[in-house]
Amino acid sequence: MEKIAIIGLGLIGTSLGMAIRHALGKDIEVVGTDLETTYISTAKKMGAIDRGERTLVGAVQDVDIVVLATPVLAMRDLLEFIAPYLSKDVVVTDVGSTKAEVVIWGDQILPDGVSFIGGHPMAGKEGSGPKEADLSLFDGAVYAICPAPSATAEATKAVLAIVQAVGAKPYFVDPVEHDSYAGAVSHLPFLLAVSLVNTTTKSAGWREMAHLASTGFRDMSRLASGDPIMHRDIAITNRDAVVYWLDEFIKNLHELRNLVKDDRDGLENALVQAWEGRARWLIGRSSDESFMNEKMKSSDQFMGMILGDTVAKKFREAGAEPNQDPTRYRKN
């Protein structure tokens, strides 16, 4: 029987344990540990682990795979601590949101014969802790895989098997490229949510303004409810990419400010560009792809399924015809 140790039983660690045990059942034993002892008992009650351990040494001894599911900045110390207790051919992986530094740490710190495979499931919720865990959290989610240079093919296959078992979609990517991409589409949105909440709630008028805050504010601010320590570590370990994308966003925001101030047509063009860009993303197209006619089946059903009923209605109101590209905004 294969044994997996999960270090860190928060939202992701507990959800992963639940999904692994659900998918692999009696073929695997999942051991879990966490600095917060109540997390261990909660994870056990939720069916995420077969056995809880109060010490790191007890958790990693005689296991086949170790999963680090802690804040990113804790991982270096963790790797240094557990390294002497790992058996040969053990595979160590992680679920952290940044990869370049973590993969270097794993490659440099772990002993010969132990492989490190960086991992990042593109999944989450606004809450944190084991009580927020979800068995289906990884269903259909992209799961980045970043093997360290010294990792064996067998180790990569072992992590790949887990990723596929929990229903995720494996995506092999260079660690540095991962961090640049994630900085734009994952880390930047969180900081934008933080800025939105801080900007509005610090306003002298927030007490009255809050009565008007509805679904738009709720949706845009959702990420600000994420674990502050986790996101602090993400920003610090991906500083260059995050700063770059913040600068790009600030530049674009300044351009929007000027358009709002005195360029009606320019503002409309910017809004249409964003509308069409999101529509392309929703149907899995790059901005340069020509639209494939074979994907254009019955327009109402297709648009409703891919873009949602609200967007589909907008297309109809805008005068879109059957078999027309649903990524093109059309005015009446």
Surface-to-core class of residue 27, CB atoms within 10 Å of its CB (0-12 exposed, 13-18 middle, 19+ buried): exposed
Domain shared by 11 and 151, yes or no: yes
Q: In 75-173, at which residue ranges do the beta strands (DSSP E only) sit?
A: 91-94, 115-121, 142-147, 169-172
Residues 131 and 7 both lie in one domain: yes
Say how far apart CA 66 and CA 51 lie, in whole Å.
14
Residues 293 and 148 in one domain: no
- Of 150, 173, 196, which residue constitutes the final position of a domain? 173
Place of tokens 């297709």: 302
166 shares a domain with 22: yes
pLDDT in tens, 137-166: 999 999 999 999 999 999 999 999 999 999
Split into its structural domains, the chain has a count of 2
97 found inside a domain? yes
Phi, psi of 26 (to 5 degrees): -75, -5
Q: Do 6 and 143 have their domain in common?
A: yes
Q: Over the stretch 238-251, which tens digit does the pLDDT of each residue have?
A: 999 999 999 999 99
List the CATH number of the domain containing 69.
3.40.50.720
Distance from C-alpha of 182 to C-alpha of 180, rounded to nearest angstrom: 6
Residue-wise pLDDT for 18-49, tens only, equals: 999 999 988 899 999 999 999 999 999 999 99
Q: Residue 92 above 50 pLDDT?
A: yes
29 domain-assigned: yes
Does 167 lie in the same domain as 19?
A: yes
Q: Is 268 in the same domain as 160?
A: no
Q: Which domain holds residue 132?
A: 2-173
| Residue finishing a domain among 173, 204, 220 | 173
The answer to whether residues 167 and 278 belong to one domain is: no
Nearest to 244 by CA among 328, 299, 176, 290: 176
Distance of CA 176 to the CA centre of its chain: 16
Q: Tokens 């809880």 identify what position?
A: 52
pTM: 0.80
Q: Is residue 203 a part of any domain in this protein? A: no
Do 158 and 286 fall within a single domain? no
Q: Per the domain annotation, does 215 fall within a domain?
A: no
Give domain status of residue 220, yes or no: no
What pLDDT does 307 receive? 47
Whether 13 is in a domain gets the answer yes
**Last residue in a domain, options 173, 195, 221:** 173
CA distance 73 to 109: 15
In a domain, 27, yes or no: yes
- Report, as an integer, the average pLDDT of 169-183: 96
Kind of pairing between the strands at 28-33 and 2-7: parallel
pLDDT at residue 270, as a whole number: 96
122 part of a folded domain: yes
* 272/160 same-domain check: no
